Structure 1
Amino acid sequence: MTGSGTVERIFTAPEAEAEMEERTDVEAIAGSGLRGDRYFREIETGTFVEWDADEDRHDGYDLTLIEREAVTAIEREAGIELAPGEHRRNVETREVALNHLVGRRFRVGDAVCRGDRLCEPCAHLQRITQDGVLQALAHRGGLRADVLEDGTIRPGDAIEPLD
């Protein structure tokens, strides 16, 4: 994988526990997230939202990304097949090492983002998919990022490190 890659697919869910819906584009809003997603600032019904409306938004909740190569690898290595969007990440990528974007600014489509931390798999993901997904996706479950500059994200868009 190289330093830059592409957006393969985009998913959002309107509320916690809702099925992920594939999108042809999504508007990324600085400090708020992806319009229409459960973690968008005006909605905030995601499973892991723990702050009050009066509090500042926590870092790393604007969007999540996962490498398509990781999804393919767990199928090959562990026999775990995830349906599109079942990984619960917003942006599926190709040919970009997401772990290398922690702490870095990058462009995805028209939006500028900053990688906050790895998006390790959780017990919730395993409950809704299958046993073994926690171990299979450890350290390759994706990236949590914040939107710094508004923009639209579409399949086929480039993902490029900025620093």
Structure 2
Amino acid sequence: MTETEAGDSAEHDHLATAGTVEAIHIASESGEPVEPVERVEAVAETGLRGDRYFDEGGTFSDGTPRGITLIEAEAIEAAETDYGVDVSDGRHRRNVTTRGVALNHHVGEEFTVGDAVCRGVELCEPCSYLEGLTEDGVARSLVHRGGLRATIVESGTLAVGDTVEPR
């Protein structure tokens, strides 16, 4: 491998693990439309203040901390390109839309979103509930690119434009 190829490889690795917050969405009640916000408080072991899962009011509140969900802007764009499915503007129902970060790589890893520290728990695969709230084909369009479910390890504030990076 040449020095240039090694540098390109290192740069590519960095791009795969770090990025920015492009949008933030929360819904105060289960099944309600999500609303965009510019910033939100992330509370350790609880969730995003004002979101349905903060007080365990979300559809999938079963005592398992939901914390925060993230999805890649690139996955949203691919769903539109590959399947003609529009999950932009928060219709994907994930809290944080990122750009430039491979979220699947963060399962089991700690990372920061703004001032908050999170730990990736599992991939956030799409389900029939999501499809029922959106449109046919959503589940198929987001398989293996539906985002990441994470717990909030250390409280902090996150805002549109903040960095998402490994800890």
Same fold, TM-score > 0.5, yes or no: yes
- Aligned Cα root-mean-square deviation (Å): 0.9
Q: 1:129 aligns with which of 126, 134, 156?
A: 134
What's the CA shift for 1:97?
Answer: 0.2
Asked if residue 44 in structure 1 is aligned to residue 56 in structure 2, the reply is: yes
Residue of structure 1 in register with 2:23 after alignment: 9
- State the distance in 1 between where 2:69 and 2:16 align: 19
Gaps of 5+ in 1: 52-57
- Equivalents in 2 of 1:141, 1:85: separation in Å? 12
- Whether the aligned pair in 1 keeps the contact of 2:20 and 2:164 (CA below 8 Å) is yes
Structure number having the greater helix percentage: 2
- Choose which of 132, 135, 149 in structure 1 pairs with 2:154: 149
Task: Report the number of matched residues.
Answer: 153
Counterpart in 2 of 1:55? Answer: none
Q: Any runs of at least 4 consecutive aligned residues in structure 1 with deviations exceeding 6 A, and if so which?
A: none
Are 2:29 and 1:24 aligned? no
Amino acid at match of 2:122: R
- How big is the shift at 1:83? 3.8
Q: Deviations over 1:6-52 (max 9, x none)?
A: 00000000010011010010000001110000000xx211011123x
Distance 1:155 1:34 in 2: 14
TM-score by length of 1: 0.91
Unaligned runs of 5+ in 2: 1-14
CA–CA distance in 1 between the matches of 2:165 and 2:88? 27
Normalised by the length of structure 2, the TM-score is 0.89
Percent identity (aligned): 54
